[in-house]
């Protein structure tokens, strides 16, 4: 018998509908309020990825936690690295990091209620409730070895204009790891309704600007299948790893 009720899943699907409808001009605070209202159900659906058949029956899968660990293991031999997770949400990624031996992670997110769920798991060194903005994040220069941002670069969510700030708080030689749905920033057949030209352009431009100014170097860029399966639609993911210079 399934432990996730239909209501929960439809609450999570609300996010995708919201993104589709409010591409470029979401109302102020609308995204934060949405996450505050669905915190627990988001987590249940995400966790369900560990049980493929349950998740498939509900029509929702999320492969990011596994993918993050696979990438980290490739670039990082030391599990004591200090990690900042931008958009930590309910802690799905933090849980997987902790389980995989990465136990020095700070999470930041603007949804207090999502962070309350993350807190319960006891897998973060610290959780900070703050908006992720292009300037003045509450962290020191060169404070982190790794910055991870998964599932948060989306219309109305975290802006690529924050990338320069991320090169300030990640130390030289450290990495910024980005994972997102391809359809938000590039065309994906069948998912054209999700594409945001302004987000796509800004995503490419901000990455390129930091390459040109030698603030970071893109060491990996990959389109991969099966990032998220939701409502009968399988979206590709984009994974980008940048080494801070």
Ligand X SMILES: C[S@@+](CC[C@H](N)C(=O)[O-])C[C@H]1O[C@@H](n2cnc3c(N)ncnc32)[C@H](O)[C@@H]1O
Residues lying near ligand X in the complex (CB under 6 A): 31-32, 35, 46, 64, 87-89, 92-93, 109-111, 114, 131-132, 150-152, 157-158
Query: Across-strand partners of 180?
Result: 238
Say if residues 40 and 177 touch (Cβ distance below 8 Å). Answer: no
Query: Across-strand partners of 109?
Result: 129
- Cβ proximity to ligand X: between 8 and 77 the closer is 8
Say if residues 87 and 152 touch (Cβ distance below 8 Å). Answer: yes
User: Angle formed by the axes of helices 30-47 and 112-121, to 10°?
Assistant: 30
- Cβ proximity to ligand X: between 50 and 172 the closer is 50
- Cβ proximity to ligand X: between 110 and 139 the closer is 110
- Cβ proximity to ligand X: between 35 and 229 the closer is 35
Residue spans of alpha helices (H) in the chain: 6-21, 30-47, 52-58, 64-75, 92-99, 112-121, 163-169, 182-185, 197-212
Instruction: Print burial letters for 69-80: b (CB count within 10 Å at least 16), e (below 16).
Output: bebbeeebeeee
- Cβ proximity to ligand X: between 93 and 210 the closer is 93
To which H or E segment does residue 200 belong?
helix 197-212
- Cβ proximity to ligand X: between 16 and 216 the closer is 16
CB of 89 to ligand X, least distance (A): 3
What is the largest distance, in Å, between two alpha-carbon atoms of the chain?
55
Other Cβ atoms within 10 Å of 205 Cβ, number: 13
Question: DSSP letter at 194?
Answer: G
Task: Kindly compute the dihedral angle of the four CA atoms of residues 121, 126, 127, 131, in this order, to the nearest 10 degrees.
Answer: -160
CB of 133 to ligand X, least distance (A): 7
Say if residues 210 and 150 touch (Cβ distance below 8 Å). Answer: no
Query: Pairing mode, if any, of strands 105-109 and 144-150?
Result: unpaired
- Cβ proximity to ligand X: between 130 and 245 the closer is 130
CB of 92 to ligand X, least distance (A): 4
Q: Which residue of the chain is nearest ligand X when measured via CB?
A: 89
């Amino acid at each position: 018998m399934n432990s996730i009720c239909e209501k929960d899943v439809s609450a999570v699907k609300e996010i995708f509908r919201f993104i589709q409808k409010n591409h470029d001009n979401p109302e102020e605070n609308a995204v934060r309020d949405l996450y505050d209202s669905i915190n627990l159900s988001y987590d249940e659906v995400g966790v369900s990825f560990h049980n493929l058949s349950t998740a498939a029956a509900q029509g929702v899968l999320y492969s990011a936690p596994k993918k993050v660990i696979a990438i980290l293991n490739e670039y990082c031999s030391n599990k004591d690295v200090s990690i900042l997770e931008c958009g930590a949400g309910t802690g799905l990624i933090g849980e997987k990091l902790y389980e995989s031996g990465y136990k020095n992670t700070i999470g930041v997110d603007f949804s207090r209620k999502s962070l309350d769920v993350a807190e319960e798991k006891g897998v973060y060194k610290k959780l900070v409730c703050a908006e992720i903005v292009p300037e003045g994040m509450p962290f020191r220069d060169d404070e982190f070895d790794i910055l991870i941002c998964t599932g948060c670069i989306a219309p109305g969510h975290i802006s690529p204009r924050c990338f320069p700030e991320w090169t300030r708080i990640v130390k030289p030689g450290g990495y910024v790891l980005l994972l997102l749905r391809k359809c938000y920033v590039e065309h994906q057949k069948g998912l054209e309704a999700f594409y945001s030209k302004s987000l796509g352009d800004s995503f490419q431009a901000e990455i390129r600007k930091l390459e040109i100014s030698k603030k970071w170097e893109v060491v990996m860029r990959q389109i991969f299948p099966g990032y998220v399966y939701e409502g009968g639609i399988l979206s590709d993911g984009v994974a980008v790893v940048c080494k801070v210079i």
